[in-house]
Amino acid sequence: MSLHLKRGLPTLREAMRLLRRKGCNSKIVEHSILVSGKAEELAEKCLRRGLNVDLELVRIGGLLHDLGRSVTADVRHGVVGAEILREAGFDERLARIVERHVGAGIPRCEAEALGLPSRDYIPETLEEKIVSYADKLAAGDKIMGIDKVLKEYSSRLGSEHPAISRIKRLHEEIMGLIE
């Protein structure tokens, strides 16, 4: 039985420890550090534009977005990671970032077809959108330009896949906020 402790956000050090303790390999950890850094940069730009964004939530969310990859590399890793964080009693806003980062958001109809618990996984808050977007830009140890990201997703999923237009929309929305 879980203790359902209420513990807010983990610190950076605790988040790093959690990744290691749950068995995320160094490739996942490096990717997570990259996403966290990119997400932080985007959040800082939003702050400079006077937008209300929780920088610490974005930083930790970026670091833990792929926590569920310690259990599965497939599309369920967002839901699995969010459950680990809920069980540990962390801030629900963090669990939502993790749950909604996959594929620039997955609507209920697609989620059901993929065998995910039936609900919408579309990033709603600015923090959720920033982490999901930063993750789309990160490949291996680099941040890619949006054109390359779209090209890679198109060749992987097919150019008509709905995730492609979601990534485009997310890009336009974030750019609209910070440029």
User: Which residues of the chain form contacts with Fe ion (CB under 5 A)?
Assistant: 66
Closest approach, Cβ 159 to Fe ion, in A, equals 21
**Cβ atoms of residues 137 and 34 within 8 Å:** no
Q: Report which of 1, 2, 32 is spatially closest to residue 135, judged by C-alpha positions.
A: 32
Burial 10-49 (b: 16+ CB within 10 A, else e): beeebbbebbeebebeeebeebbbbbbbbbbebbebbeee
Nearer to Fe ion, 66 or 128 (CB): 66
Q: Region of 102 please: left (phi>0), alpha (psi -120 to 50) or beta.
A: beta
Say how far apart CA 89 and CA 158 lie, in whole Å: 39
Closest distance to Fe ion from the beta carbon of 135 (Å):
6
Task: Give whichever of 66 and 83 is closer to Fe ion, judged by the CB atom.
Answer: 66
Measured from the CB atom, the residue of 82 and 88 that comes closer to Fe ion is 82
| Closer residue to Fe ion (CB): 47 or 93 | 93
What tokens were used for 179? 């440029």
In whole angstroms, give the CA distance from residue 50 to residue 81.
Answer: 31
Nearer to Fe ion, 9 or 35 (CB): 35
Distance CA 110, CA 106 (A): 6
Instruction: In angstroms, give the least distance from the CB of 89 to Fe ion.
Output: 22
